[in-house]
Amino acid sequence: MRTLVFIVLVYVVFQIIFLSSSQCARLSPNDDNLIEQTCKQTPNYNLCISSLKSDPKSATADVAGLALIMVNVLNTTTTQTLIHINSLLLQSQRNEVKEALLSCVDNYKIGVLTADVPVSIEALTKGNPKFADQGTQDAANESNSCEEGFSGNSPLTVENTNINNVAKVANAIVKLLL
């Protein structure tokens, strides 16, 4: 009887260890640790964690890989914002609002999507991270420019703040590579 209880207890312990480690089936908990350690060095831990963990590649990525994931999040977030801006432009707007919206299209379509994102990706994949440092910093600046164009009555504050936060997190991760 005692040996049976012993075996069952060991089995239960074994199952607990096993199931918790299978949350990330291929690798050890140390990789969650890399994500957490990296995110602690960014200005927005929660955003960093949720952004990175929502991409399966983060499980096996090194710091450069995590930076690339964040740049990808920047890309997606900016694209979604551009779609929203376009829908706002289709509605009738006061002239100054329309001008500011068009200016934001410049900031995001040209500044972020055509310049900052591709440059940052190339810099990170080719091992010259300082250009990704500049690119992600610029992306944050572009979001400021967009927001300031509305002189206080911005319909895009949530989106601009979001892009700004994402860019700053990406920038913080890139700076770890310098």
Partner 1 sequence: MEDTLPCSYSPLPNGPPTIEGPLDKRRPRKKATLIIFSGLLLLLLLALFVAITVGDYRNSHNVHENENDEALLATSEPSSVSIPSEPVHSVSRGVSVGVSEKSNRVFADHNAISYPWNNSMLSWQRTSFHFQPEKNWMNDPNGPMFYKGWYHFFYQYNPNGAVWGDIVWGHAVSTDLIHWLHLPLAMVADQWYDINGVWTGSATVLPNGEVVMLYTGSTNESVQVQNLAYPANLSDPLLINWVKYSDNPVLLPPPGINKNDFRDPTTAWYTSDGKWKFAIGSRVNTTGITLVYHTKDFKSYERLDGLLHSVPDTGMWECVDFYPVSKTAGKGLDTSITGPGVKHVMKTSLDNDRQDYYALGIYDEKTDTWVPDNPNIGIGIRYDYGIFYASKTFYDEQKERRVLWGWIGESDSEFADMKKGWASVQGIPRTVLLDTKTGSNLLQWPVEEVDSLRLSGKEFDKVEVKAGSVVPLDIVSATQLDIVAEFELDKEALERTAQSNVEFSCGNSQGAAQRGALGPFGLLVLADESLSEQTPVYFYIAKGTDGNLTTFFCVDQSRSSEATDVNKQIHGGFVPVLKDEKLSVRLLVDHSIVESFVQGGRTCITSRIYPTKAIYGAARLFLFNNATEATVTTSLKIWQMNSAFIHPFRAK
Residues 53-82 that bind partner 1 (CB under 8 A): 53-65, 73, 76
Quote the crossing angle between the two packed helices 63-90 and 157-175, to the nearest 10°. Answer: 160
Q: How far is the CB of 106 from partner 1 (least distance, A)?
A: 6
CB contact set of 28 (below 8 Å; sequence gap of 6+): 21
The two structure tokens encoding residue 5: 């209880």
Find the binder of partner 1 among 22, 46, 87, 92 (CB under 8 A).
22
To the nearest 10 degrees (0 to 180), the angle between helices 95-105 and 130-148 is 170
User: Who contacts 27 (Cβ-Cβ below 8 Å, separation ≥6)?
Assistant: 59, 60
> By CB under 8 A, what part of segment 126-165 binds partner 1?
126-131, 133-135, 137-138, 140-142, 144-146, 148-149, 151
Nearest to 118 by CA among 130, 104, 132, 129: 132
- Asked whether position 118 contacts partner 1 by CB under 8 A, the answer is yes
- CB 83 → partner 1: shortest distance, Å? 16
- Toward partner 1, which CB reaches closer, 84 or 119? 119
Q: Select from 82-90, 121-129, 155-163 the region that touches partner 1 (CB under 8 A).
A: 121-129
The reply on whether position 1 binds partner 1 by CB under 8 A is no
Q: Tell me how many degrees the CA angle 157-77-126 measures, rounded to the nearest 5.
A: 130
Residues numbered 85 to 114 that lie near partner 1 (CB under 8 A) are: 99-100, 103, 106-107, 110-112, 114
